[in-house]
Amino acid sequence: MKILLLNGPNLNMLGQREPGLYGSQTLADIEAQTGALAAQHGLELECLQSNHEGVLVDAIQRAGREMAGVILNAGAYTHTSVALRDAVLSCAAPVLEVHLTNPHARESFRQVSLLSGAAKGVIAGFGAESYALAVLWLARNLPR
């Protein structure tokens, strides 16, 4: 079973961007760790990062046809994108919203997610472990 790990804008800058907030791991580090955990649970992980909203929408639409689940860190689009929300709502596969930080402990504009009400669940505030927790939920809850 394949799952999609989809990361949005600026997440390609992990390890360089505000390491005090986001940690020192790169996106490649997180993808490798998440992929290894997924493999331990019989899941195949496909990774995609884009700074472009339309690419993310296309990926979610494709995942609804081809994937068993989606782990989505939409970055700043979490707070602004009706298009991503609509894509999540139309996705046949469960979509888990993840965040490295806890948006509710940050600036007020980050405390509103347009995606949370459309996603199967939200995992936030555990750094890179947020992705691992999403893999574990999918591994335990996807139909086999």
Rounded to an integer, what distance in angstroms lies between the CA atom of residue 50 and that of residue 92?
A: 22
Was 17 annotated as part of a binding site?
A: no
12 is in an annotated binding site: no
State how far the alpha carbon of 77 is from the alpha carbons of 9, 40, 71, 97, 105, in Å.
Answer: 8, 31, 15, 12, 18
104 is catalytic: no
77 is catalytic: no
102 is in an annotated binding site: no
> Which token pair is 62?
């494709």
Please tell me whether 136 is known to bind a ligand. no
- Annotated catalytic residue, options 22, 52, 77, 104: 22
Please report where in the chains the tokens 């997610």 appear, as a residue. 113
Catalytic residue (one of 52, 99, 104, 131): 99
Read out DSSP for 12-29?
Answer: GGTTTS-HHHH-S--HHH
Residue 73 counted as an annotated binding residue: yes
Known binder of ligand: residue 115? no
Which residues belong to the active site? 22, 99
**Binding site for substrate: which residues?**
73, 79, 86, 100-101, 110
Known binding residues are 73, 79, 86, 100-101, 110
